[in-house]
Structure 1
Amino acid sequence: MVVRILDEHKLIDISQPLTNDIGVWPGDTPFNFKLSFTKEQTGSVNIGQITTSVHTGTHIDAPYHFDEHGEKVHELDVNIYVGPARVVDVTGCEMVGREELERFDLEGVERLLLKTSDGRDLSQFPEKFTTFRENIGPFLKEKGIRLLGTDGPSVDAVDSKTMDAHHSLNDNGVYILENIVLSEVEPGDYELIALPLAIEGADGSPVRAVLRQLG
Structure 2
Amino acid sequence: MPTTNAPSIWDISAPVYHASPVYPGDAPYQQRWSASMAEGSVVNLSTLSLSPHVGTHADAPLHYDAQGAAAGALDLAPYLGPCRVVHAIGCGSQVQWQHLAHAITPDLPPRLLVRTYRQAPQDWDPQLSGIAPEVLARLADLGLRLIGIDTASIDPADSHALHSHQVARTRQLRVLENLVLDAVPEGDYELIALPLKLMEAEASPVRAVLRTLGTQSG
TM-score > 0.5 by shorter chain: yes
State the partner residue of 2:35. Answer: 37
Q: CA deviation at 1:64?
A: 0.7
State the partner residue of 1:212. Answer: 211
Q: CA deviation at 1:192?
A: 0.6
Q: Aligned partners of 1:43, 1:101: CA distance in 2, in Å?
A: 54
1:79 to 77, 80, 84: 77
State the partner residue of 2:8. Answer: 10
Aligned residues: 207
**Residue type at the aligned position of 1:39:** M
Q: Aligned partners of 1:175, 1:120: CA distance in 2, in Å?
A: 22
Q: Aligned partners of 1:57, 1:140: CA distance in 2, in Å?
A: 25
Q: Deviations over 1:87-119 (max 9, x none)?
A: 001111121243433332343311000011111
State the partner residue of 2:191. Answer: 192
**8 Å contact from structure 1 (residues 137, 170) kept in 2:** no
**Residue type at the aligned position of 1:49:** T
Q: Deviations over 1:55-90 (max 9, x none)?
A: 011001001101101111111001111111100011
Q: Aligned partners of 2:196, 2:116: CA distance in 1, in Å?
A: 26
State the partner residue of 2:153. Answer: 154
State the partner residue of 2:140. Answer: 141
- Deviating beyond 4 angstroms after TM superposition, the runs of 4 or more aligned structure 1 residues are none
Q: Aligned partners of 1:36, 1:211: CA distance in 2, in Å?
A: 35
Q: Which sections of structure 2, spanning at least 5 residues, go unmatched?
A: none
**8 Å contact from structure 1 (residues 84, 190) kept in 2:** yes
What SS class does the counterpart of residue 189 from structure 2 fall into?
strand
State the partner residue of 1:3. Answer: none
1:106-125 superposed matches below 5 A: 106-108=105-107, 109-122=109-122, 124-125=123-124
Q: Which moved more, 1:137-146 or 1:33-42?
A: 33-42
Q: Aligned partners of 2:178, 2:166: CA distance in 1, in Å?
A: 19
Q: Aligned partners of 2:106, 2:13: CA distance in 1, in Å?
A: 27
What SS class does the counterpart of residue 80 from structure 1 fall into?
helix
State the partner residue of 1:104. Answer: 103
Give me the CA root mean square deviation.
1.8
Q: Given the superposition, is the C-alpha separation of residues 43 and 14 from structure 1 closer, same or farther in structure 2, using an over 3 Å criterion? A: same
Q: Which sections of structure 1, spanning at least 5 residues, go unmatched?
A: 1-6
What SS class does the counterpart of residue 54 from structure 1 fall into?
coil
Q: CA deviation at 1:197?
A: 0.8
Q: Given the superposition, is the C-alpha separation of residues 106 and 72 from structure 1 closer, same or farther in structure 2, using an over 3 Å criterion? A: farther
Q: Given the superposition, is the C-alpha separation of residues 171 and 106 from structure 1 closer, same or farther in structure 2, using an over 3 Å criterion? A: farther
**8 Å contact from structure 1 (residues 64, 203) kept in 2:** yes
What SS class does the counterpart of residue 196 from structure 2 fall into?
coil
Q: CA deviation at 1:213?
A: 1.5
Q: Aligned partners of 2:52, 2:8: CA distance in 1, in Å?
A: 28
Q: CA deviation at 1:15?
A: 0.4
Q: Aligned partners of 1:64, 1:97: CA distance in 2, in Å?
A: 26
Q: TM-score, normalised by structure 2?
A: 0.89
Q: Deviations over 1:152-194 (max 9, x none)?
A: 1001122211110011122112110000000111001111110
Task: Indicate yes or no: 2:63 matched with 1:58.
Answer: no
Q: Aligned partners of 2:199, 2:125: CA distance in 1, in Å?
A: 30
What SS class does the counterpart of residue 84 from structure 1 fall into?
strand
Q: Which moved more, 1:159-168 or 1:136-145?
A: 136-145
